[in-house]
Structure 1
């Protein structure tokens, strides 16, 4: 007898449950979805593959003041060209200009892409710098430094001709 009453109660609640689910699904449709860039940020992949060839550079960590590449800690801004790590003069985003990247005037072959790590936040790259890089045939990807490190790793693993110029993550414009 109790099962009959329970079954009647479930059946009587069914229209209410269906209406509630419909309202909820409509609310989900109107809700803004988070951007895919934020959800699947590349910095989450920074240590995706630990076994890399010895001759290939790989960012392993970043900090407020520098980076760890292939087990070696580097402080300050870095320029990476042809799997070589160099100290880089700019300390703030405003100091990045054609002169600070003049190595690309004489470097052959020219990298396909330059990953520019802007520090903590993405900054607008001025037209003069964009024009300079276009004139020598380099594409520019300007992003925050933690994502720049991951982007460099991924492009380098793909065998792409990539260079990186990164300010430490702690730098704000």
Structure 2
């Protein structure tokens, strides 16, 4: 029963549409908190981190154009996300990631523990990953180079745990859709265009 409920919540929270249906569907990086799942009254409690605004900024969705945050802000292009702020990131593709484009992260105070880099829908290439890891290792910062979808989920989870984390994200070039995504988009569009 709990597993079915979690799947239903995950499917409902997975798809988003920009206002007025002007952009493509977004997919969320969702993290679920199971702590204190049973409160002794016969009810199970689940918290979806990326809907909680008091935990800081969370990434609720992405498209080929940009990202949506849990405060309903939509950002266009590559971004750097921190627990309480967001900056534009001056890269176009994962080939543009180098020491210069990462120079902001070692200078932050307080120092971050983990930098998560989302490189779109490309698979991380070993030479790129190795170069980035060596650069950040000099500054004693752990690095994860992931596809954007996994990077969003990882950032949300670590941020909800109050870790000193930052995330640098490049929107993917391609987004794959499944039947549920299409159905959810149609339902959302119907909701948007219904009149009383």
TM-score by length of 1: 0.68
Please state how far the C-alpha of 1:129 moved relative to its aligned partner: 2.3
Conserved? CA contact 1:116–1:142, under 8 Å = yes
Q: Unpaired runs of 5+ in structure 2?
A: 1-26, 33-47, 175-196
Partner of 1:163, secondary structure, is: strand
- Equivalent of 1:138, from 137, 141, 144? 141
* Alignment partners' CA distance in 1, 2:96 and 2:164: 25
Task: For residues 116-171 of structure 1, give each alpha carbon's deviation from its aligned partner in whole angstroms, at most 9, with x where no partner exists.
Answer: 00100222224332211001111111110011111100010111111000000227
Match of 1:98 in 2: 99
* Alignment partners' CA distance in 2, 1:53 and 1:64: 24
Match of 1:46 in 2: 30
Please state how far the C-alpha of 1:54 moved relative to its aligned partner: 3.4
Task: For residues 10-37 of structure 1, give each alpha carbon's deviation from its aligned partner in whole angstroms, at most 9, with x where no partner exists.
Answer: xxxxxxxxxxxxxxxxxxxxxxxxxxxx
* Alignment partners' CA distance in 2, 1:128 and 1:145: 19
| Coordinate RMSD, CA, aligned | 2.2
Q: How does 1:114-129 map to 2 (within 5 A)?
A: 114-124=115-125, 125-129=128-132
* Larger Rg belongs to: 1
* Alignment partners' CA distance in 2, 1:97 and 1:63: 24
Matched, 1:155 2:154: no
* Alignment partners' CA distance in 1, 2:57 and 2:100: 25
Conserved? CA contact 1:152–1:164, under 8 Å = yes
* Alignment partners' CA distance in 2, 1:54 and 1:74: 20
Matched, 1:79 2:117: no
Task: For residues 40-95 of structure 1, give each alpha carbon's deviation from its aligned partner in whole angstroms, at most 9, with x where no partner exists.
Answer: xxx77526415424360011111112110121111100012342101111010000
If each structure's helix is expressed as a fraction of its own residues, which one has the higher value?
Answer: 1
Conserved? CA contact 2:106–2:136, under 8 Å = no
Conserved? CA contact 1:122–1:142, under 8 Å = no
